[in-house]
């Protein structure tokens, strides 16, 4: 199975502390590396963990709160200083941030490679990256500033060629590529052998990963993330602090789990913990009451999708 995994670099909320760094994660899809959010200290987490970022090509920033992007300038500075990078780096940010952030980069960051900024509209669904084997798209969320999550989706694989059937139909092997690509085959007498008779559907089940942070409880997200294999959903507060959650456009652990349950996801990882709690036991217990297959994200954790 090709690699599809999420590495948690930071899963705390607004202020880092001894237990948690602010938000960032690496998503490895078929050995292509993406970063989602980039709080302060993200590069330190990367160097400590020995995470592979030489191939990092896209960074997605969910919203304009510092705990999700203050590590961007330092990280890219260090990539410039340390690695013999020549590839472009694409940074996707809410469009309102673009002008000022570009100025900061051009003023305070020596860049031997090109940084391409892409302003996104967090309020609308859009495909940001469309690769041969997968896509990355926005997931509009409900926070106090424009904010979106990101959905990583493998594409279905094409049908598998049945060589014996092809040979029986007299198809020369050099034409097999066309059949693989979905073509029918026309015999000498003009009759057509449909592609479905020459191939069998792939048994590959595309996997999907959804990242939803930061957001209030927001059921409107459910249709878009329905059935994902892994959902990372913020769970800043416990239920006793639900009013605080509502006020700050954040979620409780139980609300995160309700989204997971109602969207029939495979597994839920909660994160973005408020520093008011000294551990994640209560958050995790509350979430598991609603959706059993829940883990509490921790720095260094690798989650397979």
> Rule CB under 8 A: which of 70-109 touch its own copies?
70-71, 73-74, 77-78, 81-82, 100, 103-104, 107-109
Is residue 44 near its own copies by the rule CB under 8 A? Answer: yes
> What is the smallest separation between the CB atom of 290 and its own copies, expressed in angstroms?
29
Q: Does 21 bind its own copies (CB under 8 A)?
A: yes
Question: Contact between 47 and its own copies (CB under 8 A)?
Answer: yes
Smallest gap from Cβ 114 to its own copies, in A, equals: 19
Q: Does 301 bind its own copies (CB under 8 A)?
A: no
CB of 7 to its own copies, least distance (A): 17
H or E stretch covering 286: helix 281-290
Q: For its own copies, give the closer residue by CB, 199 or 213.
A: 213
Query: Which residue in 100, 80, 63, 14 sits closest to 272, CA to CA?
Result: 14
Does residue 41 touch its own copies according to CB under 8 A?
yes
Upstream peptide bond of 128 is cis (omega within 30 degrees of 0) = no
Among candidates 6, 142, 153, 151, which has minimal Cα distance to 63? 142
What does DSSP assign to residue 128? E
Q: How far is the CB of 275 from its own copies (least distance, A)?
A: 8
Annotate each residue in 103-142 with x if it binds its own copies (CB under 8 A) or - if it does not, as one string.
Answer: xx--xxx---------------------------------
Q: How far apart are alpha carbons 55 and 84 in whole angstroms?
A: 11
The DSSP code for 253 is H
Q: Is 197 in the site for its own copies (CB under 8 A)?
A: no
Annotated catalytic residue within 31, 37, 67, 281: 67
DSSP state of 155: P
Q: Which is nearer to its own copies, 104 or 302 (CB)?
A: 104
CA 164, 169, 170, 174 dihedral sign is: negative
Q: Which helix (H) or strand (E) holds 37?
A: strand 32-38
Question: Is 40 a binder of its own copies (CB under 8 A)?
Answer: yes
- Of 66, 156, 177, 219, the residue at the interface with its own copies (CB under 8 A) is 66
Cα–Cα dist 21/12, whole Å: 5
Stretch that binds its own copies, among 65-73, 125-133, 285-293, 294-302 (CB under 8 A): 65-73
Tokens of 115: 């940084």
67 is a catalytic site residue: yes
The answer to the question of residue 302 lying near its own copies (CB under 8 A) is: no
Q: Residue 159 has what DSSP assignment? A: P
The Cα–Cα gap between 129 and 152 comes to 9
> Is position 18 an interface residue for its own copies (rule: CB under 8 A)?
yes
E-state strands within 39-133: 56-60, 89-94, 115-120, 127-130
Question: Are the C-beta atoms of residues 152 and 58 closer than 8 Å to each other?
Answer: no
- C-alpha to C-alpha distance for 281 and 155, rounded to whole angstroms: 36
Residue 292, interface with its own copies (CB under 8 A)? no
Judged by the rule CB under 8 A, the positions of this chain that interact with its own copies are 14-18, 21, 40-41, 43-44, 47-48, 64, 66-67, 70-71, 73-74, 77-78, 81-82, 100, 103-104, 107-109
Q: Which residues are catalytic?
A: 67
């Amino acid at each position: 199975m090709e690699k599809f995994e999420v590495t948690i670099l930071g899963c705390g909320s607004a202020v880092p502390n001894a237990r948690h760094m602010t938000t960032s994660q690496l998503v490895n899809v078929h050995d292509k590396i993406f970063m989602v959010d980039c709080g302060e200290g993200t590069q330190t987490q990367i160097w400590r963990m020995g995470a592979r970022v030489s191939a990092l090509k896209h960074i997605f920033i969910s919203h304009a709160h510092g705990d999700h992007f203050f590590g961007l300038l330092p990280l890219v500075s260090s990539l410039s200083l340390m690695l013999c990078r020549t590839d472009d780096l694409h940074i996707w940010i809410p469009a309102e941030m673009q002008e000022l952030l570009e100025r900061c980069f051009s003023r305070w960051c020596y860049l031997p490679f090109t940084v391409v900024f892409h302003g996104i509209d967090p309020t609308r669904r859009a495909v940001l990256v469309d690769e041969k084997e997968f896509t990355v798209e926005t997931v509009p969320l409900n926070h106090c500033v424009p904010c979106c999550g990101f959905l990583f989706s493998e594409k279905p694989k094409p049908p598998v060629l049945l060589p014996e059937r092809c040979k029986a139909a007299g198809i020369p092997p050099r034409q097999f590529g066309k059949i693989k690509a979905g073509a029918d085959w026309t015999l000498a007498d003009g009759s057509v052998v449909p592609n479905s008779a020459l191939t069998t559907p792939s048994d590959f089940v595309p996997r999907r990963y959804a990242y939803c942070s930061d957001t209030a409880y927001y059921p409107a997200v459910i249709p878009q993330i329905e059935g994902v294999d892994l959902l990372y959903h913020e769970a800043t507060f416990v239920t006793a602090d639900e009013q605080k959650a509502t006020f700050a456009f954040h979620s409780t652990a139980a609300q995160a789990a309700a989204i997971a349950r109602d969207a029939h996801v495979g597994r839920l990882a909660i994160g973005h913990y408020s520093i008011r709690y000294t551990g994640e036991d209560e958050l995790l217990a509350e979430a598991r009451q609603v959706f059993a297959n829940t883990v509490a994200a921790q720095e260094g954790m690798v989650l397979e999708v």
